[in-house]
Chains A and B, each alone.
Chain A
Amino acid sequence: MEIDPFIFRLSIFILAIFVGYYVVWSVTPSLHTPLMSVTNAISSVIIVGAIVAALAGDNSKIFDTANIFGFLAIILAAVNIFGGFLVTHRMLAMYKKKRKDK
């Protein structure tokens, strides 16, 4: 009897939910806004699907409807990746400790 690969993916998914649960509870509340912007950036890893879709087939096919949707998704995801990581970086750079100037 063979196990469907879907079950493996489901296992990864469920375990990742638990990892996410514990990791996110340990995030300090003062960093909740950067948390949102960075999760936003990493969820744009959906770009890998967009790349596969856009480059499918040979070069004559890149103007097929399916490929065009892939390219559109690449633009959207790229905005998010660059925007998300950079704005997170900008925010995190502002969090400073008390200066010791006594």
Chain B
Amino acid sequence: MSANLLAVFYLISGVLFILALRGLSSPETSRQGNFFGIIGMAIAIGVTIISIGNFSTGFIFLLFFLIIGGSIGAFIAFKIPMTAMPELVAGFHSLVGLAAVFVAISAFLNPEVFNLGVPGNIKISSLIEMSLGAAIGAITFTGSIIAFLKLRGLMSGSPITFTGQHFLNLALGIIIVGLIIYLCSIQHEYLFWSLIALSLLVGVLLIIPIGGADMPVVISMLNSYSGWAAAGIGFTLENSALIITGALVGSSGAILSYIMCKGMNRSFFNVILGGWGATDEGSKTSSKEQKPVKNGNADDAAFLMKNASSVIIVPGYGMAVAQAQHALREMVDSLKKNGVKVSYAIHPVAGRMPGHMNVLLAEANVPYDEVFELEDINNDFANCDVAYVIGANDVTNPVAKTDPQSPIYGMPILDVEKSKSVLFVKRSLSPGYAGIDNDLFYRENTLMLFADAKKMTEDITKSL
């Protein structure tokens, strides 16, 4: 196959990948989009194998490894529970990062294959591209592993900070750039290995200071990095499918990071430099006195909701932890039988990754046209009888609108307090991730339901 024809096929794959993302603009077209993505991938792999034309031992090995990897992937994809989606995505990011590092190593050791020159005398531009690809890939790899461990609960979700942390990261960053420049003048192998080793270290250091609830930003950011790493390798290999995909994925992750930061009213650097709650001592200790709280049980909640004409459900990470999505849908079904109008309100940063709550509700067979984003539903709270807050906290805290001293001041919140009454399912009065008290707990129209989210929801269903 001629190089030109090959390039045309790679371009077609690139276009199909664009269509795959385009399909996600609505749930109806999304399945078709995913199918386009699969075809694009099949074309890219197929033409690459044909262009090499090695159908002997190497090809058998290739098939063998494809099948091994594919079976592992398929097995994971079918077995994984939907609540574990954030750590799955983090884990997958780490694989893309490591694959980028391996391809870069391979290109460095055997540059003739990719027409990049000979070992020890690789084209400078290719050398820079592969170094960048390897460095970003390595950061993505270890960073995603840390994110995975935190999300999986194998490592504490609280920020790990130490003095001089940012200075150390900065210094390492400068050393990496220096190494790349040095590598261009003397192409020693050990420089390339040190570059990768240092980048691996940076990946760890970048993610450890970031706390659990900031994970939506971290996952999106690592998503973006994996794209840039792929693009770097794409430049090295002069492959347009890789360059297009890298650019798509890179900008996709960047946009998601931006949306997540905006959902918390924080700058990207504020999140990345880590440790929310760890730095805000003042507001945490200010109000420790006991305030009266109205405490209710499942029967009270059932009574309130049965007699309501409209109910808005506000799910949060706590719903995912308690796996309460199915119980919740059963409760909503009984409410609907009683003629209650029910909708769901999703805050952009609810859960541990973008769209986390939507997937869980979809899993529980909640129709997606009953689920609304913050800006579409926020005005409806004023006309709603009951807001049922399940596993959410900071995203409903009215202090974000009233107290400029609060660390979450300015964060867009769901106007839960405007509804006639608020039911708050929570295990205790403990503050949320931001470490601040939620004023809503002590309001006249709030009824606290102290229990596990799943258990309470099931009990309410029984009383209905």
A binds B: yes
Q: Are B89 and A46 in contact (CB under 8 A)?
A: no
Q: Are A71 and B52 in contact (CB under 8 A)?
A: no
State A26–B80 Cα separation when bound (angstroms): 28
Q: Chain B residues near A98: list those with CB within 8 A.
A: 367, 369-370
A45 in contact with B241 given A20-B248, A88-B34 (CB within 8 Å) = yes
> Which one of A33, A48, A72, A88 contacts B44 once the chains associate, using CB atoms below 8 Å?
A48
- Closest chain-B Cβ to A16's Cβ sits at a distance in Å of 4
Q: Number of A residues whose C-beta is below 8 Å from B?
A: 83
Q: Chain B residues near A17: list those with CB within 8 A.
A: 247, 250-251
> Which one of B18, B74, B237, B240 contacts A12 once the chains associate, using CB atoms below 8 Å?
B240
Per-position binary interface string of chain A over residues 20-61, scored 1 when its CB falls under 8 Å from any chain B CB and 0 otherwise: 110111111111111111111111111111111111110100
- Closest chain-A Cβ to B147's Cβ sits at a distance in Å of 12
Within 8 A of A (CB), among B84-103: 85, 88-89, 92-93, 95-96, 98-100, 102-103
Q: Are A6 and B77 in contact (CB under 8 A)?
A: no
State A21–B95 Cα separation when bound (angstroms): 24
- For the A-B complex, the count of residue pairs with Cβ-Cβ distances under 8 Å equals 373
Q: Chain B residues near A9: list those with CB within 8 A.
A: 234-235, 238, 240, 243
Q: Are A82 and B106 in contact (CB under 8 A)?
A: no
Q: Are A52 and B237 in contact (CB under 8 A)?
A: yes
Q: Are B110 and A64 in contact (CB under 8 A)?
A: yes
Per-position binary interface string of chain B over residues 230-254, scored 1 when its CB falls under 8 Å from any chain A CB and 0 otherwise: 1101111111111111111111110
Q: Number of B residues whose C-beta is below 8 Å from A?
A: 116
Q: Which residues of B approach A to under 8 Å, CB–CB?
A: 10, 13-14, 17-18, 20-22, 24-27, 30-31, 33-34, 37-38, 40-41, 44-45, 48-49, 52, 54, 56-59, 61-62, 65-74, 76-78, 80, 82, 85, 88-89, 92-93, 95-96, 98-100, 102-103, 105-107, 109-110, 112-114, 125, 219-220, 223, 226-227, 230-231, 233-253, 255-256, 259, 346, 348, 353-356, 358-359, 362-363, 365, 367-371, 373
9 closest Cβ pairs, A-B complex: A78-B69, A83-B73, A32-B355, A82-B73, A16-B247, A66-B110, A32-B354, A20-B251, A86-B77
